[in-house]
Amino acid sequence: MTTDLDKRFGFLISDVGRLCGKRFDDLAKSSVELTRAQCRALAYLSHFGNVNQARLADLLEVAPISAGRLLDRMEEGGWVERPANPNDRRERQVRLTEKAENAMGTARRVGDEVAAEALAGFSAEEVEQLIAMLRRVRANLSSLVDL
């Protein structure tokens, strides 16, 4: 087993994620009115549809109270709405507003630019292979982790 961090899977994945996030922040400053955490929340809502706050906190990997504060700011800004669940009034559903849906295109373009920079010099075939391999890694780990 190697101790070289440049050859350790977990460290490489974490570093790539950290660097992609920092680059997203740099590019988004001039075009997106949202923080990276807020963009991630919108992306999850766009992908999964309306979810409750606890599920969104899990997806964002933050404590429920932190997700609540994030959503408070987003609701004040008109990005999300949090109506009560009609089947369980104690639970709040989170849903995108039209304002958020309109902003998603800009946020996706920033993400696409980060991906293009990160994958510069890769052939289209290599990009497809990398994506396919990462999806397999995700599937392997998803089967072992409570989601």
45-62 core/surface letters (b: 16 or more CB in 10 A; e: else): beeeebbebebbbbbeeb
Question: pLDDT per residue over 30-61, tens digit each?
Answer: 888 888 899 999 999 999 999 999 999 999 99
Look at residues 114, 104, 112, 118 and name the one whose alpha carbon lies nearest to residue 32: 104
- For 1, the token pair is 């087993």
pTM over 0.95: no
Domain ranges of the chain: 5-142
8 close to 2: Cβ distance less than 8 angstroms: yes
Rounded Cα distance between 147 and 134, Å, is 18
Domain spanning 5-142 has what CATH number? 1.10.10.10
pLDDT on residue 21: 93
